[in-house]
Amino acid sequence: MNLVDRAKNILLQPKSEWQVISAEPHTVQDLYTGYVMILAAIPAVASFIGYSLIGVSSFMGSYRWPITSGIAHMILQYVLNLGWVYVLALIIDALAPNFGGEKNFMQALKVSAFSPTAMWLAGIFSIIPLLGILGILGLYSLYLLYTGLPVLMKTPPEKAMGFTVVVIVIAIVLGIVVGALSALVVPGPMRGF
């Protein structure tokens, strides 16, 4: 699997790319080392560069996170996002039968590994904090999830929207937990460290 071609295809022609992904044999290791670990690093590294090295400027002055806080945040954000992909796959797999789909952990892991592609790539905008708002382009990942779930989990089309909404709500909750853990564990400039 070529990482650049896969990312381009999943973004530009998701419906046909999900068909290709569905038929591919993958292992947890090759999904992580060949795709997830690389793309999940983009927002973590970009936010470190943006907030610790470049900083934020406004009419009130400029501010940068201390390097040690930035490094700790980057590492924790990266590790928690890797875990988020796996936990989301477990949830997708567990919920699939409730929406007429098939239980298949590897297919669920493919969905949770490839659907956040837009979100991870949009994380590059954090390199310049004022452009961080463009990270909203990562919402396209929701569409990728919607198009991938029925194909990989064999969910009937009429139940795909409900399945997607439930998975999105759970993914948001997981994201909030990841963010809260990151804020609690990593000493941050906003917490007086």
Domain ranges (residues) in the chain: 3-187
pLDDT at 175: 79
Residues in a beta bridge with 175:
none
Write out residues in the chain with pLDDT < 70, as ranges: 1, 185-193
Q: Would you tell me how many other CB atoms lie within 10 Å of the CB of residue 119?
A: 23
pLDDT for residue 1? 67
Structure token digits, residue 69: 């806080």
Strands (E), the chain: 56-58, 61-63
Find out whether 82 and 36 touch, Cβ atoms under 8 Å: yes
> How far is it, in rounded angstroms, from Cα 153 to Cα 192?
46
- pTM value is 0.88
Q: Looking at residue 20, what DSSP letter applies?
A: H
Cα(177)–Cα(95) distance, rounded to whole angstroms? 20
Largest CA distance in the chain: 55
